[in-house]
Structure 1
Amino acid sequence: MSGREFFTARTVAEARAGFRPRRRTAVEHVPLAAALHRVPAEPVPAPAPLPGFERSTVDGFAVRAADTFGASEGLPSYLDLLGAVRMGAAPEVAVRPGGCVAVPTGAVLPEGADAVVMVEYTAETLPGTVEVTRPVAPGGGVVGADEDVAAGAVLVPAGRPLRAPDLGLLAAAGVTAVAVHARARVAIISTGDEVVPPSTVDLAPGQVRDATASALAGLVTDAGGEPVPAGIVADEPGALKERLLEVLPEADLVVVSAGSSVGARDETAGAVAAVGDIWCHGLAIKPGKPTLLADCGGVPLVGLPGNPLSALVVFGQVGVPLVWLLAGCDTPPPPSSTRARLGRDLASAAGRLDIVQVTVREGVAEPLFGPSALLSVLTRADGYLTVPEPATGLDAGTEVEVVLYR
């Protein structure tokens, strides 16, 4: 890639909208216990209505609503207590005009009843007689047999990661296994003669332990993917191409950290061009402009800047959505965020997306600054805010949205 092509950068929005590989992971069946955050490959229909029977939503008395009309504390309605319904059992008594049946929350509504009066609005003034001091409308205190889910309705849609309530609804419907996309396998390659494994005890002058790969693995895992460490590749002609040819057949996504800029030592662009098609080399984002996106025979590849902070920021913006997409999720789950006031002026350049690390204290977002080689800027941050491409900065006191780190 020429220098001129490098500096004709795509926006992050263009990358998210335009770089969308067709590849999707295989489908597998998993039990509910292993399904949290997995992405269903197809909608799951309800085999039967839920809850499946009319039931009470309160502790009280099943009644004919018409028998309570006009009831008040000054002029209560009096009903004959005909019996009680036990939890988990079919009613053995029906409600007739002028009568009522005691029911606990969740019990089956007995035949003849169309409402339940809360126990707080009743009193047993005489043995076998219930005094009702407030009227109830038909359907009050009752859930219909298919009010939760109708038979054949979609319990959970395809393409949205399963949440804890989804698992509960599936269990209630008797669905014990789900067809989901497999976790995306993400091969992580580090490059550079100066990069050594984290286990290296004594560093030679100029050497650095590989911090980026471990952090990227955490982001991949958090996005529902499976990180696959693919080692460190030295700055030698042909070495990266050889490693790419080794990992591509088994990967759904390849991430190469370092080597994506235009320096003489940077091999990523040349190696990737030899095995695939480069979609863009350069994103209008700070930090992280020297980012490369490519398609290598159907396997997407992300080439990241060498500085750890830049690499992690960019991967969060374009890599994490790719991990979700490959696993069948078109729209990643929204991150947690909060509103805050900006604590100081922020300068920016129009035409690029600025990602600014911040702390949040008592509703004030204070920017954190430091070289992009410093991971400590990220570890000290509570989250980040974005300065949009058209803006030339933000004034102190501006209300901003801060995306929070978990």
Structure 2
Amino acid sequence: MPGREFFQTQPVSQALAGFRPRRRTGTETVRREDALGRVPAEPIRSGAELPGFARSTVDGYAVRAADTYGAGDGLPAYLDLVGSLRMGTAADVEIRPGAAVQIPTGAAVPDSADAVVMVEHTQVTMPGVIEVTKSVAVGDGVVRPDEDVALGKELVPAGRPLRAQDLGLLAAAGVTRLVVCAKPRVAIISTGDELVPPETAELSPGEVRDATASALVGLVEQAGGVPVSYGIVPDDVDLLTKTLTAAVAECDLVVVSAGSSVGARDETTAAVEALGAPGVYCHGLAIKPGKPTLLAECSDVPVIGLPGNPLSALVVFRMVGLPVLRLVGGITSPAPEPSVVATMARPIASAAGRLDVVQVSLRDGLATPLFGHSALLSLLTSADGYVVIPEPATGLDAGTPVTVTMYR
């Protein structure tokens, strides 16, 4: 029957495991100050110990631990106060047996001391003498020279986007520049005779403003990519092939929205096949929404054909497109998505063998499913997150604990 849709669907997990495009971005050197969220191309190791000197962790007195053994409230130890230390200076005071030196938190501990007793466990009984009311063991109140980072230790791994705390550690180690993976350039192509730019003030009957492209730009930027807009292409296979050819030559990942349904308007598959080997990997995923999804590789560049409905397109791009984008961009250890555990407020039906992605609102620990046609973009804006019903399940009962992946 003409126009009838037919898919040889593939499970999402199988597609993600099997679709491994060879494309990887190159590398570039950036300043540490500009490296937040960037992906190290190689592990970065420390060229020195940190902190590099024995350091006090408390305000108190640097001592020889043996001089405090047995000290308590009823039988304090008395030590001679032979000086004080300041932050940022060398600990050049010699602590002989039976002596102590006043020291602030973070100051260097003299080599002749092996512990620091907290000021709360001391008092000055007379000028030049302190009373210690608690014994300390060797190493108490002291950070070793290599306790934070040993010489040659890995500071940050390759393949994990840098976080704020990672930049702090790199700064402490004196790293000023680092080699990172270049950000993937992601071509965004919209197709359809009915689409017009979002700036269109007045719509003619049948026209629709292109909403998907703007949302895809945001998702790509959030994932560390660089979106490259190729605009709207009408339903013309030759024109689409020309646009795809340019995108494959210029970008690291190509995303085409609409035109992937197997029917009268299926232009994307024909255009992708014209780009050469290896071509289409699969056409159809066992996912709802998003069944008419196309995955292909052309000249080592991955091409993703998304459904035309905005909700379906964005759900699929989150589930399938983002993992591919991260792979191309060198991310081997992606940051986990924020999530919370909630309870289903009502039952949800599902078909076994299909991954269902259900939009939910979250209130007082209850996840309430939001239902509607996949053309309704407002479902996504109303949702706080989504729940994934795995392929083997036939649904979820009300009261079932679920993990809600939150939208940022």
1:347/1:393 contact within 8 Å kept: yes
**Moved beyond 6 Å, runs of 4+:** 2-5
Distance 2:189 2:237 in 1: 16
Partner of 1:262: 262
Task: Write the letter of the residue equivalent to 1:9.
Answer: T
Residues 5 and 197 of structure 1, relative CA distance in 2, 3 Å threshold:
closer
Q: 2:334 is matched with which residue?
A: 332
Partner of 2:363: 361
Aligned residues: 405
Distance 1:126 1:274 in 2: 92
Matches within 5 A, 1:337-356: 337-356=339-358
Q: Give the distance between the partners of 2:109 and 2:246, measured in 1 at CA.
A: 64
Q: Which amino acid letter does the alignment assign opposite residue 381 of structure 1?
A: A
Cross-structure match for 2:320: 318
Please give the alpha-carbon distance, in whole angstroms, between the structure 2 residues aligned to 1:205 and 1:133.
87
Structure 1 residue ranges without an equivalent (≥5): none
Name the structure 2 match of 1:108: 108
1:86 to 2:96 alignment? no
What secondary structure sits across from 1:238 in the alignment?
A: helix
Query: In the alignment, what sits opposite 2:387?
Result: 385
Q: Are 1:58 and 2:66 matched, yes or no? A: no
Q: Deviations over 1:183-215 (max 9, x none)?
A: 000000000001111111111111111110010
Instruction: Pick which of 148-157 and 309-318 moved more.
Output: 148-157
2:3/2:263 contact within 8 Å kept: no
Matched with 2:122 is 122
Partner-residue secondary structure (3-state), 2:237: coil
Alignment of 1:4-403 (within 5 A): 6-276=6-276, 277-403=279-405
Q: TM-score, normalising length from structure 1?
A: 0.98
Query: Secondary structure in 2 aligned to 1:360?
Result: strand
The structural deviation recorded for 1:272 is: 0.6
Does the aligned pair in 1 maintain the 2:282–2:294 contact within 8 Å? yes
Deviation by residue 1:237-291 (Cα, 9 ceiling, x = unmatched): 3111010111111100000000001120120111111114000000110000000
Identity %: 65
Contact 1:6–1:281 under 8 Å retained in 2: no
Question: Contact 1:325–1:331 at 8 Å: present in 2 too?
Answer: no
The amino acid across from 2:356 in the alignment is: D
Q: Could you list the per-position Cα deviations for residues 63-84 of structure 1 after superposition, in whole angstroms to 9, with x for gaps in the alignment?
A: 1111111111121111111111
Counterpart amino acid of residue 218 in structure 1: G
Q: Is the 8 A contact 1:383 1:402 kept in 2?
A: yes
- Given that 1:76 and 1:131 are in contact with CA atoms closer than 8 Å, whether structure 2 keeps it comes out as yes
Structure 1 Cα separation of the partners of residues 96 and 318 of structure 2:
64
Q: Is the Cα–Cα contact under 8 Å of residues 5 and 281 in structure 1 kept in the other structure?
A: no
Distance 2:402 2:130 in 1: 58
Asked if the contact 1:56–1:141 (Cα under 8 Å) also holds between the matched residues in 2, the reply is: yes
Deviations 1:40-63 (A, max 9, x none): 011111111111111011111111
Structure 1: distance between partners of 2:92 and 2:333: 50
Amino acid at match of 2:363: R
**In 2, Cα distance between equivalents of 1:211 and 1:20:** 29
Q: Which amino acid aligns with 2:242?
A: E
2:272–2:296 CA contact under 8 A, matched in 1: yes
TM-score between the two structures when normalised by the length of structure 2: 0.97
Kindly indicate whether the alpha-carbon contact (under 8 Å) linking 1:61 and 1:103 is maintained by their aligned counterparts in 2.
yes
CA–CA distance in structure 2, aligned partners of residues 94 and 208 of structure 1: 81
| Cα displacement (A) at 1:6 | 4.9
How far did residue 155 of structure 1 move? 0.9
Q: Do 2:3 and 2:264's aligned partners in 1 also have CA atoms closer than 8 Å? A: no
**d(CA) in 2 for partners of 1:148, 1:4:** 64
For residue 3 of structure 1, report the CA deviation from its aligned partner.
9.5
- CA separation in 2, counterparts of 1:104 and 1:349? 65
Look up the SS of the partner of 2:145 in the other structure: coil
Consecutive unaligned residues of structure 2, counting only runs of 5 or more, are: none
Q: Per-residue deviation at 1:92?
A: 3.2
Partner Cα separation in structure 2 for residue 77 and residue 16 of structure 1 = 67
